[in-house]
Amino acid sequence: MTDTQKLINELSQFHGTENWYKNPLFPGYYYTDGIQYLAEQAGAYWLIDYIFSNQSISAIRKLTFQAWKLDVNDDHTAKISVMDDNGAEVYSFHLEFTDFPLKEISLWLTDRILLLPSEY
């Protein structure tokens, strides 16, 4: 099993959360055990910061439910899409480089809490 497959399998084991984590840069926003694990294992604290920092964009902020998807290309560029609760893309970002280890990941933000879909 590759490290990537192992991480995917481990992330799928998260259901609910026992802890709420705070990001000191973004008071009032929290994340779950699964997000904490993803950040530790994939070096992805930047992704938490990215999602929370873009709450200042009104088209994103007004969504009560946000589905964030990171799609990584073979050349290490990436697209981050923000979808509403109907799956319609509301906003997208292009990253010139990322070393994120997975080809894609989806994260949800609702009620100011960032979580893995399996934790909902």
CB 57 within 8 A of CB 65: no
What predicted TM-score, i.e. pTM, was given to this entire model? 0.95
The single residue listed with the structure tokens 């893309």 is 89
Residue boundaries of the structural domains of the chain: 18-119
Q: What is the pLDDT of residue 2?
A: 80
Burial 80-104 (b: 16+ CB within 10 A, else e): bebbbeeeeeebeeebeebebbbee
Give average pLDDT by consecutive 10-residue segment, the chain, 120 residues.
Answer: 91 97 95 98 97 98 98 99 98 98 98 98
Q: What is the CATH number of domain 18-119?
A: 3.10.450
Q: What is the pLDDT of residue 41?
A: 97
